[in-house]
Structure 1
Amino acid sequence: MIKRAWAVALAAAATFFAMPEPARAGATLDAVKARGQLVCGIHTGVAGFALPDARGTWRGLDTDLCRGLAVALFGDANKVRFQPLSSSTRFTALGSGEVDVLFRTSTHTLMRDVTLGLRAVTPYFYDGHGFMVRAGAGITKASEMGGATICLISGTTNELVTADYFRTQNLTFTPILFERTDQATAALQAGRCDSFGTDASQLAASRSSLQNPNEWTILPERFSKEPYGPYVRRGDEEWFDLVRWYVNALMEAEERGVTAANVEQIRKDSTNPDTRRLLGVTPEIAQALKLDPLWVVNVIKSVGNYGEIYERNMGLKTPIGLARGPNELWTKGGLLYPLPMR
């Protein structure tokens, strides 16, 4: 019995020491603070999410989320460096430490979350795969595209979604793969493809950049669930928590009617305990996340709440012209349901 007990103990010890060592909690936050700058992985260029303007300044929902996180960390929206990444290199760049976080139109999927050494944090944008075709092609639904040539972006979920759909419909198609959205859009314009298949928001962005947007139609069907969210490296719970609750705070601020214009006044006047916690009148949230008590106030003053960020970058008054739809708050029929910040 003694020999057997020793054998069991030795086997357990061997298993323990063979396990990979997890990343030290707080390592990313420590590194970011020591550097004095957040490095944020973004798209190489898609309107509404991340695209340089005429002056070379990155604009879009994802880039504003990066700026807001820099404000939460440093109180300064300029303390962020944008790292454009292709679909096929984004996760490798994050895993290797080239960037601190991805805000890059990245769908949360099971396989990505459990096999890449990364963690999907929390959804901030809900989308679905669709197809864009010429308005004059006479195509009203995807099942009419048998034999079509379809532009796709390599390294995305859209490759699999398209292949799955055509296989289940017993239809053939010819894929043409590109590294970047602008390459696929140019190929579509040039007639190399009959259709462009990607998420509907990116189709709308691509259509806005075409020579004659009215000549193109985004078919109404959606063939997948594409919840976008930030990704971080696995094993750093402190950084995971900070990014998750930062995104949540933007949605919570919108739900409570806190905007860039009124945040100071609401912080001064509100008697609601949850609002007071959110805006740092009582300090427990900031203490738990190791941030400045006014971090949410500073973020909202700088980039606005979630709704303000959305409308500024892809809302109905922009060239993209996307209604909120599922990206509305749950109180207005959408899917955004901020978790309680208490």
Structure 2
Amino acid sequence: MRAGLAGRCATVGAIAAAVLALAGCGRSDRPADTAGEVAGVQADIVAPAFASPTLAAVKRRGRLNCGVHEGLVGFAYTDNRGQWRGFDADFCRALAAAVLSDANAVRFVPLTSSQRFEALRSGRIDVLWRSTSWTLSREAQEGVRFAGINYYDGQGFLVRRSLDLASAAELNGARICVQRASTSELNVADWFRSRGLEYTPVITANEEAARAAYGREDCDAFSADISALAAARTTLSNPEQHAILPDIVSKEPLGPVVKRGDEAWTSIVRWTLNAVILAEELGVTRENVDQLAGTSRNPQVRRLLGTEGEYGPILGLRKDWAKSAIEAEGNYGEIFARNVGPDSSLDLARGLNAQWNATPGGLIYALPIR
């Protein structure tokens, strides 16, 4: 038995030796092949360069082309000196300060709702900051990308107090002024249909025409974003005779829009908006930004203001890009207050546009810069 076992062991040993020899032969060619495969994999996973053709064009011309509303009180309008003012206009200037170090290096391009996306696609504007709702169909079909949300709105109804209405449900059979080819037109149709109510749409070419039609009493109610209704009310001869009904019939997340195909520029716009939001959360204001840049020990503040880290250069901007944006127009809360909040004629409450950690809290939430 021992002899047989020894014989079998010798055979097994010989087979094992042969296998090892073959494996050794195979390994002699593997290092070069493996190196090639690894190099190929590494080449595939290296992050692409962060370069923005739009940013390069903006820097060459020395000016940001910013698309805005033709005239919406609180958001984008010209004052009696012909200067552009408003919530959206201030964000245009903050972006110009971030990328060009000059808040005044902006060319404001007033656009109708039907012009706005074509202006982006054609390169006529670099960014659209024009009370535009982020929807699936717009992002999929219009050749654009939304870079963030800077105002959470909803659609409502403006009516005359003399009608003595308490709810939009009482508008059955009413004439409703609404802008053509807008989410407002679609939302009104959805809302009435889902409740089995009747209405007569009074369709106008644009928002200004809808406001004028309502002022002439061509309709019983004007439907648009609540912020737009608040602005429209200020333009009426007797604003106190008109009320916005409590019903909110849609979600309207408004924010900056850019042309599809320049991911780096999308990021620059997104993070500039985010920096202004983060500034409010961290207590950085237009008044104290210089002081905090030199004295703050808070790592979050230091990263935001460029005194720690290389976050601006990652975007192709200066280290103090966010500091420049805040110096230009202030933090999110300051921009809100003076244009649409308590320091403005609109006097809109923060509501959903309060910071996430406020009391009561809202939906404004800054992404971390780190």
8 Å Cα contact 1:86/1:179 also seen in 2: no
1:218 aligns with 2:265: no
The match for 1:13 is none
Q: Is residue 268 of structure 2 the alignment partner of residue 242 of structure 1?
A: yes
Aligned residue number for residue 135 of structure 2 = 109
CA RMSD across the alignment: 1.2
Matched, 1:40 2:76: no
Q: Is the 8 A contact 1:50 1:61 kept in 2?
A: yes
Q: CA deviation at 1:171?
A: 1.7
User: Residue 174 of structure 1 corresponds to which residue in structure 2?
Assistant: 200
**C-alpha displacement of 1:255:** 0.3
SS in 2 for 1:132: strand
Deviation of 1:25 after TM superposition, in Å, equals 5.1
User: In 2, are the aligned partners of 1:87 and 1:153 still within 8 Å (CA)?
Assistant: no
Match of 1:161 in 2: 187
Corresponding residue of 1:74: 100
Show the counterpart of 2:365.
337
- The answer (yes or no) to whether the contact 2:276–2:332 under 8 Å persists in 1 is yes
With 139-148 and 196-205 compared, the bigger mean Cα shift is at 139-148
Matched, 1:89 2:115: yes
Give me the whole-angstrom Cα distance separating, in 1, the residues matched to 2:88 and 2:365.
19
Normalising by structure 1, report the TM-score.
0.91
Deviations 1:205-229 (A, max 9, x none): 1101111111001000101110101
Aligned partner of 1:272: which letter?
N
- In 1, Cα distance between the equivalents of 2:195 and 2:136? 25
2:357 aligned counterpart, secondary structure: helix
Match of 1:26 among 25, 28, 52: 52
Shift of 1:177: 2.3
**Kindly tell me: are residues 86 and 50 of structure 1, through their superposed partners in 2, closer, same or farther at Cα, counting changes over 3 Å?**
same
The answer as to whether partners of 1:87 and 1:154 remain within 8 angstroms in 2 is no
Task: Determine which structure has more spread, i.e. the larger CA radius of gyration.
Answer: 2
1:284 corresponds to 2:326? no
The normalised TM-score by structure 2 is 0.84
Partner of 1:183: 209
Q: Structure 1: which amino acid aligns with 2:276?
A: L
Amino acid in the other structure paired with 2:365: Y
Report sequence identity in percent. Answer: 49
SS in structure 2 of the partner of residue 122 of structure 1: coil
Secondary structure of the 2:247 match is coil
Query: Structure 2 stretches of 5 or more lacking a match?
Result: 1-49
Contact 2:156 2:223 in 1 (8 A): yes
What's the offset of the Cα at 1:283?
3.7
The CA distance in 1 between the partners of 2:99 and 2:133, in whole Å, is 25
Size of the aligned set, in residue pairs, is 319
- Give 1:301 shift: 1.3
Task: Measure, in 2, the Cα distance between the counterparts of 1:186 and 1:230.
Answer: 27
Task: List 4+ stretches of structure 1 deviating above 4 A.
Answer: none
Equivalence for 1:322: 348
Alignment of 1:100 with 2:135, yes or no, is: no
CA distance in 2, matches of 1:53, 1:181: 19
Alignment partners' CA distance in 2, 1:275 and 1:295: 13
Note the residue ranges of structure 1 that are not aligned, 5 or more in a row: 1-23
